[in-house]
A and B are shown apart, each in its own frame.
Chain A
Amino acid sequence: MTTQPVVELTGITVEFPPVTALAGVDFRLYPGEIHALMGENGAGKSTLIKALTGVYQTSSGTIAVDGTERRFTGPGDARAHGISTVYQEVNLCGNLTVAENIMLGAAEPRLLGALHWRSMRRQAARHLERMGLDIDPGSSLDSHSLAVQQLVAICRATVGDCKVLILDEPTSSLDADEVESLFAVMRRLRDDGVAILFVSHFLDQIYAVSDRMTVLRNGGLVGEWATSDLPAGELVKHMIGRSAQVLESVGRKQGATARPAGTVPRLQAVGLGRKGSIQPYDLDVYPGEVVGLAGLLGSGRTELARLLTGADRADSGSTRIEGVPRRLHTPRAAMARGIAYTSEDRKGEGIVDGLTVRENIVLAMQAERGWVRPLPRRQVDEIVAKYIEQLGIRPANPEALLRNLSGGNQQKVLLARWLATAPRLLVLDEPTRGIDVGAKAEIQKLVAELAGEGMSVVFISAELEEVLRLSHRIAVLRDRRVVATVDAEETTTDQVVELIARGNVAEGDAA
């Protein structure tokens, strides 16, 4: 490719004192290529994108579009110059119609100065058709699934003169078929000469669709390669800056098969259920055991966990803790019994992004003590320093605001918060979702270690391999019902998939 890059960033630095999010990064994007931007969480991918589109101010460096130096004032300005962005979360307005979400802000069709709804819907329908989406443009956006909303967001981005399309983790909420149709659209746009910047955590997706890649690490540039020149192992090495083999060795530390007979389960749920949420289920969790929950999105994994931890109230069944019947009606009651729950909704139900790392870590511990007995500052500092060190939270600054941390590091802070309360049963709902390989491996390793120390863990993840590797036993869910509980040691991924797909096994476990 000898043509001029459509976008060229030179020496871009972005600072959020005291954090330097991006340090002197160069980046080139050519017309008609799909360029993957790779890096761990916190590497600076999102920052680079936001610097390019004018959301963040750069403290130094230049941005050139088609050879002309530019500084955009915001996404609207960037879009006016042909640079559109689709973010990880669907950033559209659910209360507006699909047509408005596609057309608004660009050149909406008008009649005598007023918006012309009919031709707006017609044009929107044409754009939707190009994406292979058959939905009513007049329907309101929030009546559609997240995946459809994501495709609508991409549809919006390609309206008008789109030279550069930035896709920041567009696939995290899509299933395999939807990803395939997205890729088809991406390839066609590329062939039309659009430059596509693609960010994804799924390595196989990157290799399936990208032409070149740029790797960032810790806010700095590692390098730029043609995708065909860089094997996946090399890429991972570049991303995390250490050998990938170390990470692969993470797994169960001890088999729980050696459980002595007559051990009392730490938590025993009998017929626990809630109407419209999950059918009554039985589940035992023993000390030092990791119980994985496997199932598709919406199969009831989260609902099960929420009942177990009192986040939702059960309307049938009972729970026993260490053999004693206990009612867990609120998360607070569960906490008092040593049960901690980290929600899958990190942003909404987990972190407090306006508080510092230190404040977030001691939150649960302080709540447990009661607010009238504040923790001594010295003790707080010790605890916070211990977890920052142990979990490798970056930046290692207790006073950094949580909103300035990457997703993986926010997850670690959340984990630290619950670990600080020394729970006996830890329920982790999707702790590794949307975070990079390195942080994921660290969290997996930590789970294995905690179980080794005698903690019970209920581990939820959409990734079957992860669940299988980490768990001793696996409860398989389907259609809001526990269809089987299997020993992870004797089960293969294929068998679990079979269980999820069919709902019962040869043994005739569930009716």
Chain B
Amino acid sequence: MTTTTPERATRPLLRAVRIDRRYLPVLGTLAVLALMLVIGGTRYDNFLTPIVYSNLFINNAHLIALAVGMTFVILTGGIDLSVGSVLALSTVIIAALLQAGWPVAVVLPVAVLTGSLIGLAHGVMIQVFGVQPFVATLAGMFFARGLCFVIAPESIPIDDPAFTALAGWDSWLGHFRTTAAVVIALAVVAIGFVVLHYTRFGRTVYAVGGGEHSAMLMGLAVSRTKVLAYVVSGTCAALGGLLFAMGNRSGYALNGVAMELDAIAAVVIGGTLLTGGTGFVLGSLLGVLTLGTIQTVIQFEGNLSSWWTKIVIGVLLLVFVVLQRALSLRKT
């Protein structure tokens, strides 16, 4: 479909108008997000306010972190079902250790490294022992969830002064309020973006998703990259746990149940193909914001059950998957 004989004179014009097909899904997500904001804005008076935008980020900071990690894994063509449980485990470890009187400076690295270790275990299971990603991370999901209950079946409140100070820190950028959790989440997005686009590891993630065998024959470090992608996801999940604990000031074994599915939904709505190789972290960020906006709209509606959120997400997911399918069909 690419025309090979464009006249030189008309070329700049075409350049300006034509959008790279790679960005189409992300632009689609952006359009949907904008559309929902406009609809919300016309229906409700105080919808398009800085507070609503701020809360969109504040309420979903943990999901942003999960989605970034999930993007890495899905780009390689894998899946990580454990992130919800790892998030819970991270909140429980943080709360339990703080309660035991450990200093914050030790507790947070321990919690995050636990996530990395679980990710490493997934990666090794998948790459060395050839276990399907679905099965390996399903096992990890049960393992992490079970471990939460072993540590503490009840919710543990966090009242460590240093932690609450960190969690309570906020700053006003004009009328927008940011919290420490939002800053961390956006930093994760920025790091994820740089790693995916400006490191050999990041490009290898794309290469593996585009064709594992080809990537191997191109002499790229396929095994290491796949393992590392799960480490990234586990780390991001544990970071998500930290952000979640900062929001809730507690650790509980039943946090983040089914949250891995939200993360996957956000990544897919953000334009990443489940088969791997195409997608962007910024798309995943848009995906999370879209999910958050749906939730906000339904809250504003007031008399609608919150389960409508799930229905709308389901429909949106279906529409996006069909759209992607149509796009990739047109390509061939």
Contact = CB atoms under 8 A, between A and B. Distances in A.
A336 B99 CA distance: 73
A96 B203 contact: yes
Given A95-B206, A104-B207, A114 B198 contact: yes
Contacts of B331: 142
Nearest to B221: A76
Q: How large is the interface on A (under 10, 10 to 19, 20 to 34, 35 or more residues)?
A: 20 to 34
Contact of B22 (A115, A140, A156): A140
Interface centre among B200, B209, B217 (most CB of A within 10 A): B217
Interface stretch (A84-92, A376-384, A417-425): A84-92
Interface string B201-230: 001101101110111111111000000000
A143 B22 CA distance: 11
A108 interface: yes
B210 A91 contact: no
B210 A94 contact: yes
B211 A94 contact: yes
A104 B219 CA distance: 9
Nearest to A101: B218
Interface in A87-119: 87, 90-96, 100-101, 104-105, 108, 113-115, 117
A24 interface: no
Interface of B: 2, 21-22, 194, 197-200, 203-204, 206-207, 209-211, 213-221, 277-278, 331
B74 to A, nearest CB: 13
Contacts of A76: 218-221
9 contacts: A75-B219, A78-B219, A91-B217, A91-B218, A104-B204, A104-B218, A114-B198, A115-B197, A142-B331
A77 B209 CA distance: 22
A55 B218 CA distance: 12
Contacts of A395: none
A265 interface: no
A74 interface: yes
Nearest to B211: A93
A93 B214 contact: yes
Contacts of A104: 200, 203-204, 207, 218, 220
Contact of B214 (A91, A100, A143): A91
Given A96-B206, A105-B219, 6 more contacts: A74-B216, A78-B219, A80-B219, A104-B203, A104-B220, A140-B21
Contacts of B199: 113-115
A94 B22 CA distance: 12
A80 B199 CA distance: 19
B210 A96 contact: yes
A201 interface: no
Given A75-B218, A79-B219, A104-B218, A91 B213 contact: yes
